[in-house]
Amino acid sequence: MTTDFTPPVTSPSIIVLTLARQVETELNSALAPLDLTVRKLGLLGHVAGVPGASFSDLARMSGITVQTVHTSVKALARAGLVRDRTARAGAASTIEVTEAGAAVLADARRVVAEVDARLFGADADPVRRRVGRGIVEAFTG
């Protein structure tokens, strides 16, 4: 028995998932020269934006496991973007963005703005422009 399946093109879930994958691919490519990925950028942004956040807090905010946060924070620390001021067994960590990390975050914000303009700006596909405006309005209005 053969079953023809056509994905529901009017499904918001499918549309958002498809668009999210396209945006993530574009952002990862644009962030690569900064040695960042979307995940690393998110984690770096959380560290900068929520001083004193625990590894568990960072995991919840990022939607990843605590183990992955530990690994990622170590990679960010090796790159000189964050530091753990306590970094001893049994002590709660105090992770903070370094000066170099703040500079990379500023560069990353410019990269994200460029991707936003390309995907959702004045020269983008009209549907994408509407989607971009709708997302921003939904979360800022």
Taking only the tens place, the pLDDT of each residue in 63-83 is 999 999 999 999 999 999 999
**What integer pLDDT is reported at residue 98 of this predicted model?**
95
Angstrom distance (rounded) from CA 74 to CA 81: 10
Assigned CATH topology for domain 39-140: Arc Repressor Mutant, subunit A (1.10.10)
CA angle 19–68–110, rounded 5-degree value:
45
**What integer pLDDT is reported at residue 54 of this predicted model?**
86
> What is the DSSP track for the chain?
--------TT-HHHHHHHHHHHHHHHHHHHHGGGT--HHHHHHHHHHHHSTT--HHHHHHHHTS-HHHHHHHHHHHHHTTSEEESS-STTSPP-EEE-HHHHHHHHHHHHHHHHHHHHHHSTTS-HHHHHHHHHHHHHHH-
- pLDDT exceeding 70 applies to what percent of the chain? 89
Between residues 79 and 12, the one the model is more confident about: 79
Q: What separation in angstroms does the CA of 125 have from each of 74, 112, 118?
A: 40, 18, 9
Angstrom distance (rounded) from CA 67 to CA 71: 6
Confidence check: pLDDT of 9 > 80: no
How high is the mean pLDDT of the chain? 90
Partner residues linked to 95 by β-bridges: 84
pLDDT tens for 30-52 read 999 999 999 999 999 999 999 88
**What integer pLDDT is reported at residue 89 of this predicted model?**
59
